[in-house]
Amino acid sequence: QKEVEQNSGPLSVPEGAIASLNCTYSDRGSQSFFWYRQYSGKSPELIMSIYSNGDKEDGRFTAQLNKASQYVSLLIRDSQPSDSATYLCAVAGGSYIPTFGRGTSLIVHP
Amino acid sequence: EAGVAQSPRYKIIEKRQSVAFWCNPISGHATLYWYQQILGQGPKLLIQFQNNGVVDDSQLPKDRFSAERLKGVDSTLKIQPAKLEDSAVYLCASSLREGVHYGYTFGSGTRLTVV
């Protein structure tokens, strides 16, 4: 059974701070890693994908992948109240079908 | 391009009733997925279609759930009879073809409440 673990939170950070969201996975053969943002009552929206070890930056978002430690994280710099949402980690292996974590709730307070 | 279309947006039914959801994928996308997202959990794959054929339905509760994609375009997911634990959001997603996954574009989902 492939597992993707996330702390359900909520993670509360002040506006302007860095939010750090973490995810671990069980399948060592995993190849593709994704972060989705889900606002309350909305469907998940893809915000980042990463396929190799290291960091990948896109605007205020940085995804970090460490395959040896089976760990992927998402950093959000200069957090804004509009970033308040649930962030879902998804991991895909050889079958290419991603397994989703249960998500971490992020609250950015003014 | 138009996104993934789903209907209805909301549905409330009594247990033991039947319900159907509809999905129209992004034009030209051969692969279609149905996911179930229970409140507080991540989406769980129910079934994957490649054109009009089923690729993976290992997590579909086949005693009550069925899905079809007869012409390889739009798809219908049916629950009969519904149980209280089927209350969830049913999400549809599509991709150009089976294979390496680059991330989904989900439809807006159908929120099902079984009372």
Q: Starting at the earlier edge strand, list the strands of the sheet with A71-76.
A: A4-5, A19-25, A71-76, A61-66, A54-58
Per-residue burial over B22-43, b = 16 or more CB atoms within 10 Å of its CB, e = otherwise: ebbbbeebbbbbbbbbeeeebb
Q: Indicate yes or no: CB of B42 within 8 angstroms of CB of A43.
A: no
CA distance A79 to chain B (A): 23
**Confidence check: pLDDT of B2 > 90:** no
Q: Work out the pLDDT band at A1, boundaries 50, 70, 90.
A: confident
Do the beta carbons of residue A16 and residue A79 sit within 8 Å? Answer: yes
CB B63 within 8 A of CB B112: no
List of residues 6+ apart from B81 with CB closer than 8 A: B15, B16, B17, B18, B64
| Mean pLDDT, range A8-25, rounded to an integer | 96
Mean pLDDT of all residues belonging to chain A: 95
Question: Considering only CB atoms, which chain A residues are within 8 Å of B107?
Answer: 43
At B98 the pLDDT is: 65
Place of tokens 């399948």: A27
Closest of B107, B101, B96 to residue B24, by C-alpha: B107
C-alpha R_g of chain B: 13
Q: For residue A49, which amino acid is it?
A: S
- pLDDT recorded at residue A74: 98
Task: Tell me the residue type at B39.
Answer: L
Decide if pLDDT at B99 tops 70: no
Percent of chain A's residues with pLDDT above 70: 100
- B45/A95 touch (CB, cutoff 8 Å), yes or no: no
Contacts of B73 (CB under 8 A, 6+ apart): B24, B25
Spatial distance between the Cα atoms of B73 and B25, rounded to a whole number of angstroms: 7
**Over residues A93-103, mean pLDDT:** 87
pLDDT one-digit tens code per residue, B48-97: 998 889 999 999 999 999 999 988 899 999 999 999 999 999 999 988 77
What percent of chain B has pLDDT above 90? 78
Per-residue confidence band for B100, with pLDDT thresholds at 50, 70 and 90:
low
**Token pair in block for residue A12:** 């509360």
- Confidence at residue A2, expressed as pLDDT on a 0 to 100 scale: 80
CB A70 within 8 A of CB A23: no
Write the residue in B44, B48, B103 that is nearest to A46 by C-beta: B103
